[in-house]
Amino acid sequence: MAHADQTAPDPATPVRKRRPATPEESKALGHPLRVRILRLCLDELTNKELAERLGVSPGTVLYHVRRLVDVGFLVPGTPRTGASGALEKPYRATGETWWLDSPLQDAEPAAAHAPVQAFRRELDEAGPESVRTFSRFTLHLSDEDVEELDRRIVAVLDEFVATDDRRREHPRYSGIFLVHRPPGASGTAADTERGADARRADTP
């Protein structure tokens, strides 16, 4: 078992500050396929491997990969020999997107929704057994309350992201924090629903 300071962030660990996204960076994140490529490239993958995982043509993947490389969200790895014997170049995500401040805030609706589309597709592919924990909630919030809730949640995530290198031996998890206005929302009573450790078959 790992030591406690390897499995939880140290409050004293310096956390990077967010910076504004450039217009090119915002555009690069405004497509669900590019968001999925970034997530897949947490492990080094070649253009061919990405195409197979995503179910699209290598040419389509290469176009999106080049956009991500141009803005520094992907970096090429050391070329390696593929199954056919040809050299193939793998790509790895830099993790820089996490430290951008609201990169899609001013994007068109379709582009702003790209990360949500990508996450839904990833969750569908992983299946219901992949869900470890969830919290579904309804709250009454002012605009200021929404900003404060977001600030607090993201501050906790920042600490875990900044110290993630210490937990590389543990399984990888993925998630999303999202607050939206339901259609026809009115002043109804708040309700919450929690699900924890939905999958315990592989845990002691």
For residue 24, the enclosing domain spans 4-196
Query: What pLDDT digit, counting tens, does each position of 43-86 carry?
Result: 999 999 999 999 999 999 999 999 999 999 999 999 988 777 78
Q: Establish if 121 belongs to a structural domain.
A: yes
> Which amino acid is present at 165?
D
Find the distance separating the first CA and the last CA of the chain, reported in whole Å: 12
- pLDDT above 70 covers a percentage of the chain that reads 83
> DSSP character for 164?
G
Q: Establish if 202 belongs to a structural domain.
A: no
Task: List beta partners, residue 93.
Answer: 74
Q: Establish if 203 belongs to a structural domain.
A: no
What per-residue string of b and e applies to 127-138 under the rule 16 or more CB within 10 Å gives b?
Answer: eeeeebeeeeee
Of 198, 201, 182, which Cα lies nearest the Cα of 190? 182
Query: What pLDDT digit, counting tens, does each position of 150-161 carry?
Result: 999 999 999 999
Q: Rounded CA gap, 48 and 61, in Å?
A: 8
Q: What is the CATH number of the domain that holds 48?
A: 1.10.10.10
How many structural domains is the chain composed of? 1
Of 151, 155, 146, which Cα lies nearest the Cα of 180? 146
Q: Establish if 201 belongs to a structural domain.
A: no
Q: Establish if 112 belongs to a structural domain.
A: yes
